Amino acid sequence: MASDPRSTDALQFDAANLGNEPCAVSVSSHDGGIAIAGEAVPTNSATNTACEHPGEDSDRTGGTAKWKRAFSFAQTVGFAFGIVALQMAQGILLARLLGPVGRGEYATTVLYVQMLLYVGLFGGLEVICRYAADKTVETVQLRRAAMWLGLTTGVITTGLVLACNLIALPDEKAYLMTLGCICAFSVIGQHVMLIMTAVDRGAGDFTPYNIRRFIAAAAFPALLLVAALLTEVTLHLACGLFVIASVISIAACLIGLPKPLTGPSEPRVDRLLKESRPYGISMLATDLFERLDLLLVMWLVPLLTQGYYAAMVPVVYPLTVIPNTLGIFLFNTAADRNQRLKTSDVHRILGGSFAIQTLSTIAFMVLIGPLVRLVYGEDFAPAIVFALWLAPVSAIKGVLQGLDSYVKGRGKPLAPIRCRIVAAAVMLAITFAFVGTHGAIAIAVAALVGQVICLVWLSAIVYADVREQEQSLA
C-alpha cells in the first residue's frame, strides 16, 4: 500500500484537519453528470461538510448535523438521478436523430474529449475543494482562482485533444478529424465549470452547486431538442451545439461573480497546479482505465457497431448512482480523524452495496430489451447485447468509485494506481485475443474482467487500511 501523502509536501494541508476545524469535505474525481461530453459521466461528485461542535449543545448539534447529512445525501441522490435521466434523454435524442452510424460518428468526434476531460484537470478540482473547505481564502477570490485554473487546464487539454484528433484517428474514421477538433474547444468551458463548481462542493453549498451542475447537464439535450423541433439535426449541427452547451455552463458559474477577469484571485494557478499533482496522477490512471473500452471500440470495430456500443453507455449509468453517492460520505469519514471505520463497517457497506447492485442489475437486465426497442427504436435492437454486458460493468464501477472516495479521503490517491494498470493490461490481452472472433463483445467482456480485478484489489486496500487503523488504536 502506498504511504500516506499526509506525510509528504505534495499537499500543503490536511484533508482531515482543514483550517484546524473538525470538518471533512468530500472530494472526488468524477462529477455527477456535470460534464456534457455526449455520454453520461459516472456520478461521484457531491460534497458534504459535517461539523460536530463540542459543548453543552453537542447532542442537539450532533442531531442537527445528522439530519443535514441525511438531507444532503437524499438531495444528492435525487439530483444525480435527475442528471443521469437528462444524459439518458440526450443519448436517446442523439440515437434517434443521427441513427446507428451517425451515433458512431458522434462517439468518435467526442471520444478524446471524454478521455482527457478529467485527466486534464490535473487534480485541480480536488485542490479547489480543499481550499473551499479550509475557508482561509476569501470565497470570491477563490472563485476567480478556480476560473483561471480552469482556463489554464482547459487550454492545455484542448491542445492535447486537438493533437489526438490530428494524429490518432483510425484511417477509416479520419474524415471526422475536423469535427473532432471543433468538439475539442468544449473542454475549456467544461473545465472552467467543473473547477468553479468545486468551490460550492468544498464549502458544502449544495443548492447552488446542484443548480449549476443541473444547468450544465441540461444544456446540451435542451439544445438538441430545440434544434430537432426547428430543423434537421446533422452531425455537424450536433457538434456545434455541443460546444455551445459548454459556454452555457460557464455562464451559469460566472453569474454573481464580480469582476471575473479583472478582480484579485487567490491562490495562484502555479501553486494550485503544484498541490494537485498526486490527484492528477491518480486521475490519469483511473480515467484512462475507465475509458479504455471506448478507445478500443473506436479503433477495432466499424462505425455501425461503435454506434450501438456508444448508445448503450449512458443507458447503464443509473447503476452507478447509489454506491458512488455513498462514496461522498465515505470520503468524509475517511478524512476525519475523529471517525474511523471498523472492519465490521466495511463488511456492512460492501455487503449492502453488493446486494443493491445485484438486485438493480438483475432488474435492469430483465427490462432493458423491451425498453431499448421502445425508446431507441428497432434500429438499435442489436445494441441490447452490449447493454447486457455493460450493466454489470457499470454496477461494479459504482462500487469502485465509492471505494476510491474512501482511499482519497485517507489521503492515499496513489494507492489504487497499480491495480488500474494491471486491469488495463488484462483488458488489452482479452480484447486482442478474442476481438477477431467475437467483435465488440470481447471488449465488453474485457471491461467486465478489468472491473472485477479492480474491485477485488481495491477492496483489499480498504480492508488493509481499516485493519491498520484498528491495530494502531489497540
Nearest to 193 by CA among 146, 157, 128: 146
Amino acid letter, 93:
L
Is the pLDDT at 437 greater than 90, yes or no? Answer: yes
Confidence of residue 424 (pLDDT cuts 50, 70, 90): very high
What is the torsional sign of CA 263, 267, 268, 269? negative
Residue 12 CB-half CA count within 13 A? 14
pTM of the model: 0.80
Nearest to 87 by CA among 368, 314, 393: 314
pLDDT for position 52: 37
pLDDT for position 277: 84
pLDDT for position 32: 38
SS (H, E, C) the chain: CCCCHHHCCCCCCCHHHHHHCCCCCCCCCCCCCCCCCCCCCCCCCCCCCCCCCCCCCHHHHHHHHHHHHHHHHHHHHHHHHHHHHHHHHHHHHHHHHHHHHHHHHHHHHHHHHHHHHCHHHCCHHHHHHHHHHHCCCCHHHHHHHHHHHHHHHHHHHHHHHHHHHHHCCCHHHHHHHHHHHHHHCHHHHHHHHHHHHHHHHHHCCHHHHHHHHHHHHHHHHHHHHHHHHHCCCCHHHHHHHHHHHHHHHHHHHHCCCCCCCCCCCCCCHHHHHHHCHHHHHHHHHHHHHHCHHHHHHHHHCCHHHHHHHHHHCHHHHHHHHHHHHHHHHHHHHHHCCCCCCCHHHHHHHHHHHHHHHHHHHHHHHHHHHHHHHHHCCHHHHHHHHHHHHHHHHHHHHHHHHHHHHHHHHCCCCCCCHHHHHHHHHHHHHHHHHHHHHHCHHHHHHHHHHHHHHHHHHHHHHHHHHHHHHHHHHC
Is the pLDDT at 236 greater than 90, yes or no? Answer: yes
pLDDT for position 209: 85
CA distance 251 to 193: 9
87-97 pLDDT tens trace: 889 999 999 99
What value does the mean pLDDT take over residues 240-252?
95
Q: What percent of the chain has pLDDT over 70?
A: 82
Is the pLDDT at 281 greater than 60, yes or no? Answer: yes
In this predicted model, which residue has the larger pLDDT, 26 or 229? 229
Amino acid letter, 105:
E
CA distance 424 to 419: 8
Confidence of residue 435 (pLDDT cuts 50, 70, 90): very high
The separation between the first and the last C-alpha atoms of the chain, rounded to the nearest angstrom, is: 21
CA distance 340 to 334: 7
What value does the mean pLDDT take over residues 206-233?
92
What value does the mean pLDDT take over residues 141-165?
96
CA distance 83 to 95: 18
What value does the mean pLDDT take over residues 326-333?
68
138-147 pLDDT tens trace: 889 999 999 9
Is the pLDDT at 245 greater than 90, yes or no? Answer: yes
Lowest-confidence region among 28-32, 186-190, 248-252, 287-291: 28-32
Is the pLDDT at 13 greater than 60, yes or no? Answer: no
Task: Round the average pLDDT of the chain to a whole number and report it.
Answer: 83
CA distance 2 to 15: 17
